Amino acid sequence: MPSGVGLVETRRTVVFDGDRPLRLASGGEVPKVEVAYETYGELNADRSNAVFICHALSGDANAAGHHEDGDPDRPGWWDNIIGPGRPFDTDHFFVICANVLGGCKGTTGPSSIDPATGKPYGLRFPLIQVRDLVTVHRALLAELGIERLLAAVGGSLGGMQAMQWAIDHPGELDGALVIAASARLSAQNIAFSAVAREAIMRDPDFNGGDYYETGKRPDRGLGLARMIGHITYLSEESMREKFGRRIQDAELPRYGFDVDFQVESYLHYQGQSFVERFDANTYLYLGRVMDYFNPFEDPIHVQHQIEAGDTSFLVLSFDSDWRFSTSHAREIAAELRLAGAPVTFREIASPHGHDSFLFPIPDYHETVTGFMGRLARQRGIAGS
Amino acid sequence: MPSGVGLVETRRTVVFDGDRPLRLASGGEVPKVEVAYETYGELNADRSNAVFICHALSGDANAAGHHEDGDPDRPGWWDNIIGPGRPFDTDHFFVICANVLGGCKGTTGPSSIDPATGKPYGLRFPLIQVRDLVTVHRALLAELGIERLLAAVGGSLGGMQAMQWAIDHPGELDGALVIAASARLSAQNIAFSAVAREAIMRDPDFNGGDYYETGKRPDRGLGLARMIGHITYLSEESMREKFGRRIQDAELPRYGFDVDFQVESYLHYQGQSFVERFDANTYLYLGRVMDYFNPFEDPIHVQHQIEAGDTSFLVLSFDSDWRFSTSHAREIAAELRLAGAPVTFREIASPHGHDSFLFPIPDYHETVTGFMGRLARQRGIAGS
């Protein structure tokens, strides 16, 4: 499927600086924050058709389309859902996606230069929370002159941002689309996160997070973390169908400790390609953002916030997702309803596990299209 | 619960040596094989009451009781099922447990001295298969003057050995107890195994498997492998109950990259205590033994073998085990029945995940007691 939005480019803007540093939820500060972002479609005259895409752990600002120097056959990570005639219809909506705070694709994060030292932050970058990611998104919107969104949307960590946004800033979102997300990681989720973090931090080339100027990077550890992650992104069923017990490039097993089974080869490839495009410290920071995420910790506060706003929620899960299973989504829906929010909840049938939110599953895309159409009509703008 | 068998000791015996090397299923050879083993109870006059315990990946010969220098409160790994009045009743049965070939607890493995070089084998130890583990168990039995077992029994990798034994050597087992095992690892199982292997092999201190004389061991990698393993040994439910999102030794999160949640602390402890007692190369070899295990690859052969014997099978699974779920056990039972074997299959309710086979769950222990009683009556000896 060719990209619907075609050629795009990433822009950058400084949203916090000088006497206006970013103040974090923890009380800490980041003196200067630059944001990398992309937009697709046109902002309408009354600035009412903006849709903000929040990306997941390994995402970036390039959600749709391709860059001039990029492969047109490998467009942005959510290209199949963004574009003319697609659920986030760029004939009607102005779609924005920004690399998150703490990221490594153009937005300020641990690999950025700390103005205080002139060197990369490394682990001296402050711990951040989902609400800080939202603060930076809002600063970007302020720059773009947008006060209210038609929708904030995201899968996984992206869904957490949409959820937190609706809770922290009532009256800013018509809709929040919370897809394959969780309101609190389970012990098993935290366990996987811990092992991935350990894999990175135990790599001698990690060097306490200060590897940017050593000529070595913790690629072994980061690759391992990504391999672990991928096991949790796929379903057991999809792994069985994709790989089974088949041997890579051979009929018979080679019997040894090198890669032999196809599933091993797949994980190796995923690990290797990831280290070429991602920063280990960002992986640590965003992993911890998810571990500590707990937006319903104070249900009375959430109820007051929800009552002060008018956001409609679409909460989606996928039946084969065992990272954030449907029980996570049911908890989100139940807690939002308890707080008084209008919530549509649906479990979508899909074999693709947690990764399902990235796939163009008809039932899923139709559900998103329907929800976006209702938001558009409610706001008095044309839907798709 | 105090140990039923009390003080025990590990004995050692050389079962292959000189002009009688161990010939492996792969065609390779191990010139000398020593076995570490323990026995509990007494062999009866007609040598018909022997029960062989096959251990899992991280087990050893000390299945029951405690050593003179050991803690009486921390007896062998399967003490709760072995002893007077217990399912493997030492008032009636002669119970044997041996460290497996490739192990690191007294039986020849990659940490043993290669007679050809005078140095530890490391990765020069040949690749082994489940059937080789059985070959070594049988050589030990020959030394003990036992030609036929009342039962071979094991959980996980142990169950694989019992299964392979019954298939390869018809007429040697009255019963085979195959508990929490698999007849072929799934793609997801192999994926977890691959990541654990990578964790070890990517540790710079692994040194290609030659770490015995360097003064450094791949403890970081082995600990990580064990942490990954433990996630798959516990159920999501038991993790939630044991740890939830509780913080270790504190009320409030510390917000950082160190261990903070209880589940992280648990995994760290498991990883750390494991490296103190286990060899990384053994982990690699036994992991690969499981990856390649495929006893029903040639179903016609299996049928001939089963028809030539008279082994009764007890196949057990645990409903919360997601490493080797009930679907694995159902496949084993179905394939054995297809080959003509008498099979009793039961799924036991338990919250403990794959580790369930180590717990004294009443329904589980009663099922084993009943099966062992039938075998004993069939053989004309007293059961428990």
DSSP output for B61-128: S--SSB-TTS-TTS--TTGGGBSTTSSB-TTT-EEEEEPPTT-SSSS--TTSEETTTTEE-GGGSPP-
Q: Which two tokens stand for residue B326?
A: 């009930």
What is the rounded average pLDDT for all residues in chain A? 97
Chain A residues lying within 8 Å of B123, measured CB to CB:
257
Closest CA to B354 of B311, B384, B324: B324
pLDDT below 50 — which residues of chain B? Answer: none
Chain A residues lying within 8 Å of B242, measured CB to CB:
187
Question: Would you identify the CATH topology of the domain B189-288?
Answer: Rna Polymerase Sigma Factor; Chain: A (1.10.1740)
List, for residues A31-53, the tens digit of each pLDDT value: 999 999 999 999 999 999 999 99
Give residue A321's identity as a one-letter amino acid code. Answer: D
Task: Answer whether CATH 1.10.1740.110 is correct for domain A189-287.
Answer: yes
Catalytic residue among A66, A230, A352, A354: A354
Give residue A192's identity as a one-letter amino acid code. Answer: F
pLDDT at B2: 82
In chain B, the largest separation of any two C-alpha atoms, in whole Å, equals 66
What does the DSSP 8-state code read for residue B353?
G
Q: Could you tell me which chain A residue has the CA closest to the CA of B253?
A: A292
Catalytic residue among A321, A328, A355, A384: A321
List, for residues A136-179, the tens digit of each pLDDT value: 999 999 999 999 999 999 999 999 999 999 999 999 999 999 99
Give the three-state DSSP class for A197: helix
* Nearest Cβ partner for B224 among A186, A199, A291: A199
Q: Mean pLDDT, to the nearest integer, of A262-269?
A: 97
- Interface mutation target, options B185, B222, B228, chain A, most CBs of A under 10 Å: B228
Chain A residues lying within 8 Å of B194, measured CB to CB:
227, 259, 261, 263-264, 267
> A383: pLDDT confidence band, cut at 50, 70 and 90?
low
Assess whether A156 carries a catalytic annotation: yes
> Taking the domains of chain B in order of start, what are their residue ranges?
11-184+293-379, 189-288
Q: Nearest 5 degrees, angle CA A164-CA A169-CA A173?
A: 85
Neighbours of A373 (CB within 10 A): 16
List, for residues B203-243, the tens digit of each pLDDT value: 999 999 999 999 999 999 999 999 999 999 999 999 999 99
State how far the Cα of B20 lies from the Cα of B158, in Å rounded to an integer: 26
Catalytic residue among B352, B354, B355, B356: B354
Q: Which two tokens stand for residue B370?
A: 């009943």
Chain B residues lying within 8 Å of A244, measured CB to CB:
187
Chain B residues lying within 8 Å of A256, measured CB to CB:
127, 288
Inter-chain residue contact A224 with B198, CB threshold 8 Å: yes
Percentage of chain A modeled with pLDDT above 90? 96
Indicate whether this complex's ipTM tops 0.85.
Answer: yes
Give residue A371's identity as a one-letter amino acid code. Answer: F
Q: Which two tokens stand for residue B46?
A: 């007609």
Inter-chain residue contact B195 with A227, CB threshold 8 Å: yes
State how far the Cα of A259 lies from the Cα of A254, in Å rounded to an integer: 9
B110 Cβ contact list (under 8 Å, min separation 6): B102, B104, B120, B121, B122, B123, B125, B209, B279, B281, B282, B284, B285
Q: Which two tokens stand for residue A203?
A: 């790599």
| Minimum distance, in Å, between the CA of residue A245 and any CA atom of chain B | 6
Give residue A63's identity as a one-letter amino acid code. Answer: A
| Minimum distance, in Å, between the CA of residue A239 and any CA atom of chain B | 6
List, for residues A278-318, the tens digit of each pLDDT value: 999 999 999 999 999 999 999 999 999 999 999 999 999 99
* Nearest Cβ partner for B239 among A187, A230, A242: A187
Chain B residues lying within 8 Å of A190, measured CB to CB:
245, 261, 263-264
Assess whether A46 carries a catalytic annotation: no
Chain B residues lying within 8 Å of A255, measured CB to CB:
26, 127, 288, 292
Q: Nearest 5 degrees, angle CA A142-CA A144-CA A150?
A: 85
- Interface mutation target, options B193, B245, B296, chain A, most CBs of A under 10 Å: B245
Inter-chain residue contact A245 with B204, CB threshold 8 Å: no
Q: Mean pLDDT, to the nearest integer, of A76-95?
A: 98
* Nearest Cβ partner for A198 among B197, B224, B243: B224
Question: Would you identify the CATH topology of the domain A11-184+293-379?
Answer: Rossmann fold (3.40.50)
pLDDT at B382: 73
Closest CA to A33 of A132, A159, A149: A132
Question: B380 burial class (0-12, 13-18, 19+ CB within 10 angstroms)?
Answer: exposed
Inter-chain residue contact B195 with A228, CB threshold 8 Å: yes
pTM of the predicted protein model: 0.96
* Nearest Cβ partner for B264 among A190, A257, A284: A190
Inter-chain CB pairs, A–B, below 8 Å: 138
- Interface mutation target, options A193, A202, A247, chain B, most CBs of B under 10 Å: A202
Q: Which two tokens stand for residue B55?
A: 């251990």
Chain A residues lying within 8 Å of B253, measured CB to CB:
292
Neighbours of B109 (CB within 10 A): 25
Inter-chain residue contact A190 with B227, CB threshold 8 Å: no
Catalytic residue among A156, A235, A312, A320: A156
Residue B201, CA distances (Å) to A4, A206, B195, B245, B281 in order: 44, 17, 10, 32, 9
State how far the Cα of A325 lies from the Cα of A305, in Å rounded to an integer: 26
pLDDT at A231: 97
